[in-house]
């Protein structure tokens, strides 16, 4: 684990470069203790986003709160557990949530724009590009895109959900190549221990998100991640590996956004890993869901991960799942660790027939050899 205490000039440099900022706010930050939507919190948040835009920046908001809003409108005291009821409550709440944002932004002379997404919208390349073009055009118009998952049609059972809005916010950051993602939490940032335990210290800057960092949010006995910080680390990892910076901080006082824009050292800063990668590889590596898995031997992993080589059939030792040519597949080592994703040139059935073979033997096995590579390096993204 590499942790260093960075000075304000670095934060100022990052803030200056952040011409577009994605801000994610969770339900707890927008609700009262009884779980109902707190309109005053939305007013405070919208005002701070307005002030950010007054500095010339463009802002995208990923906002939870539809279910809490719907519960308040319908007079419900407990969150429904039945899926259909939960989706119905979200439908009622989403309209009121956006109306509240719109009312406040209009009072500030700005226009809000509702954007509801499902995982399929970003999983399919053409739809992904359509969403990107829409968001960029909204920003050109000076509007504030307010993004949420379309809970009325997304279901975990159908595997069409993002999982949480932290992940959605990271995807949006990569989608529009925003230099900075701010995840507003109910704690000040990442701590070196349990935040509720005296003596635990806030970590100012994380240079690299590795196993030691994830270990800070895992239960030592079960090894399972605990709390919302785990999902925020996953989101930060996806954004930083794509070349963008991430700040996790408390949303109790929305003036923290102005402090971030001023380059003040607030929350935990996760530094971008190297240069920003292309939009194409962001989609392959961190947005599109893999349809299968290719397992590689040690030499092939070294060639792909360290040397930037294409994946040849000779390095494949196992094939999992049923995928077709052009699908995104996960690339793992023998231990099951995923280190890359890419677009496969062959179907699962074809790779099963040619795995372990040298390229010159593919034609004899398949009757033709349309591609020398199973995955070309131009269509592969290393995810570690």
Token duo for residue 78? 């407990």
Token look-up 């590009």 returns 129
Question: At CA 269, angle to CA 216 and CA 48, rounded to 5?
Answer: 120
> Does 214 share its domain with 342?
no
Same domain, 343 and 266: no
What is the residue whose two structure tokens read 């898995």? 293
Distance from C-alpha of 374 to C-alpha of 341, rounded to nearest angstrom: 12
Torsion of CA 37, 28, 63, 203, to 10 degrees: 150
Residue corresponding to tokens 């397992």:
295
Please check whether residue 267 is in contact with residue 251, taking contact to mean a CB–CB distance below 8 angstroms: no
59 — phi, psi (to 5°)?
-130, 135
Last residue of a domain, one of 229, 250, 281: 281
Say whether both 258 and 121 belong to one domain. Answer: yes
Rounded Cα–Cα distance for residues 352 and 329 (Å): 14
CATH of the domain at 345: 2.30.130.10
Domain span at 313: 290-382
pLDDT for the residue numbered 223: 47
Please check the confidence at residue 158 and state whether its pLDDT lies above 50: no
Segment 256-275 shows an average pLDDT of: 93
The reply to whether 264 and 294 lie within a common domain is no
Shared-domain flag, residues 129 and 31: yes
How far are the Cα atoms of 341, 370, 372 from residue 375, in angstroms, in the given order? 9, 12, 9
Same domain (yes/no): 334, 190: no
pLDDT at residue 151 in the model: 67
Phi-psi label, residue 160: left if phi above 0, alpha if psi -120 to 50, beta otherwise: alpha
Asked if residue 198 and residue 57 are part of one domain, the reply reads yes
CB 65 within 8 A of CB 30: yes
Write down the H helix ranges in the chain.
Answer: 8-17, 27-30, 39-54, 66-74, 83-107, 119-123, 125-140, 165-176, 211-214, 229-241, 256-261, 279-286, 298-301, 348-354, 362-366
* Short-list 11, 10, 20, 384, CA closest to 181: 20
| pLDDT tens-digit series, residues 30-68 | 988 877 888 999 999 999 999 999 999 999 999 988 888
Residue 165 region, left (φ>0) first, then alpha (ψ -120 to 50), else beta? alpha
Average confidence score pLDDT of the chain? 89
What's the pLDDT tens digit per position in 97-137?
A: 999 999 999 999 999 999 999 888 999 999 999 999 999 99
Tell me the H-state helices in 141-228: 165-176, 211-214
CA distances from 28 to 63, 146, 194 (A): 11, 17, 19
Shared domain for 363 and 218, answered yes or no, is no
Do 168 and 39 reside in the same domain of the chain? yes
188 and 108 both lie in a single domain: yes
In order of 98, 228, 252, the CA distances from 64 in angstroms are 11, 14, 15
CATH number, domain containing residue 43: 3.40.1160.10
Considering 233, 253, 281, which residue would you say is the last residue of a domain?
281
Min mean pLDDT across 87-91, 182-186, 342-346, 368-372 is at 87-91
Q: Are 139 and 199 found together in one domain?
A: yes
Q: What is the pLDDT of residues 220-258, one digit of tens each?
A: 544 444 458 899 999 999 999 999 999 999 999 999 999
- Domain final residue pick, 228, 257, 281: 281
Is 1 part of a structural domain of the chain? no
Asked if residue 280 has pLDDT above 60, the reply is yes
Q: State the Cα–Cα distance between residues 331 and 381, nearest whole angstrom.
A: 10
Residues 6+ apart with CB under 8 A from 129: none
**CA-wise closest residue to 148 among 241, 34, 70:** 70
pLDDT at 291 over 50: yes
pTM of the shown model: 0.87
- List of residues 6+ apart from 381 with CB closer than 8 A: 277, 281, 282, 284, 285, 286, 340, 341, 342
């Amino acid at each position: 684990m590499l942790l260093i205490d960075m000075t304000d000039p670095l934060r100022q440099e990052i803030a200056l470069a952040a011409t577009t900022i994605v801000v994610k706010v969770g339900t707890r930050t927008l609700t009262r203790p009884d779980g109902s939507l707190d309109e005053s919190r939305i007013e405070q948040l919208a005002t701070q986003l307005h002030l950010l835009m007054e500095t010339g920046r463009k802002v995208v908001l990923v906002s939870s709160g539809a279910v809490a809003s719907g519960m308040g409108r319908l007079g419900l005291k407990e969150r429904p557990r039945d899926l259909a009821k939960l989706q119905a409550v979200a439908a009622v709440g989403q309209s009121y949530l956006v109306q509240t944002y719109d009312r406040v932004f209009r009072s500030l002379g700005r226009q809000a724009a509702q954007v509801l997404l499902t995982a399929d919208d970003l999983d399919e390349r053409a739809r992904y590009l359509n969403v990107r073009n829409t968001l960029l055009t909204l920003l050109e118009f000076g509007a504030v895109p307010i993004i949420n998952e379309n809970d009325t049609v997304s279901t975990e059972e159908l595997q069409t959900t993002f999982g949480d809005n932290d992940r959605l916010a990271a995807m949006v950051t990569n989608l529009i190549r925003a230099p900075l993602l701010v995840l507003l939490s109910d704690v000040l940032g990442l701590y070196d221990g349990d935040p509720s335990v005296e003596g635990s210290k806030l970590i100012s800057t994380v240079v690299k998100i590795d196993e030691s960092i994830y270990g800070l949010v895992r239960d030592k006995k079960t090894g399972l991640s605990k709390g919302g910080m785990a999902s925020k680390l996953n989101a930060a990892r996806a954004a930083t590996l794509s070349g963008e910076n991430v700040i996790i901080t408390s949303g109790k006082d929305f003036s923290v956004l102005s402090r971030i824009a001023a380059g003040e050292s607030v929350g935990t800063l996760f530094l971008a890993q190297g240069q920003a990668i292309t939009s194409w590889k962001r989609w392959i590596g961190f947005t599109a869901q893999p349809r299968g898995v290719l397992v590689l031997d040690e030499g092939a992993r070294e060639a792909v991960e360290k040397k930037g080589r294409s994946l040849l059939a000779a390095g494949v030792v196992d094939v999992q799942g049923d995928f077709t040519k052009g699908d995104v597949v996960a690339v793992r080592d023998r231990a099951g660790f995923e280190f890359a994703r890419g677009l496969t040139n062959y179907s699962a059935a074809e790779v099963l027939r040619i795995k372990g073979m040298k390229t010159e033997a593919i034609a004899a096995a398949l009757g033709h050899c349309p591609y020398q590579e199973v995955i070309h390096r131009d269509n592969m993204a290393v995810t570690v």
